[in-house]
Amino acid sequence: MKQKATENPEYQYLLKEYKFAKNPQRMNTQPKGKKAYYFMATINKEPIKVLLDEGASTNVIGYDLAKEYKLLNLLPKNESPIKNAQGPGGKLLKNYGKIEVLFQVDDYAEYIKISIIEGNQPYMLLSEADQARFKISKDREGRIATINGKPINYQDVDEY
């Protein structure tokens, strides 16, 4: 690495000497206590449990659940069969492709794209972009999720 640093100016930071504590301490030893907001919706008129995901850039459903909902046959045939997606903690997961489904929450319905990835979680993750598009928000004091300012039917809040 040091040889690369002498040859390439972008790596010169490696030539400096850094001092780090020998006994580092955790910055926050308390659990996050994040709330997980779940509710029931439908995809292609079939009920599904949905998790409102913070920081997600795309909607995601696990391969096993997609198979159960018969969504695998909606995958485009011309795409390469398997790509990689980055999951939590940088873990690489198989990404089988994207499909478009009719997604309905209470009285609101819209077509959305969902990535089918390796996994068997029993719910669909809803991205922040589609949460905004549906005007879904989280009332942390009341511990409920709302759509257009009204509480979403059939919901649950867990701590993790």
Q: What is the pTM of this model?
A: 0.70
109-151 tens-digit pLDDT: 999 999 999 888 889 999 999 999 999 998 888 788 899 888 9
The owner of tokens 């209470």 is: 106
| Other residues' Cβ atoms within 10 Å of the Cβ of residue 10 | 8
Q: What is the mean pLDDT of the chain?
A: 81
In CATH, which of 3.40.120.10, 3.40.830.10, 2.40.70.10, 2.60.40.420 is domain 36-159? 2.40.70.10
pLDDT at 54: 81
Determine the Cα angle at 44 with ends 39 and 49, to 5°.
20
Give CA angle at 109 (107, 110), nearest 5°.
Answer: 160
Q: What is the pLDDT of residues 33-62, one digit of tens each?
A: 567 788 899 999 889 999 987 888 899 999
What average pLDDT does the segment 4-20 reach?
71
- How many other CB atoms are there within 10 angstroms of residue 124's CB atom? 23
**For residue range 94-119, what is the model confidence (pLDDT) as tens digits?**
889 999 999 999 889 999 999 999 88
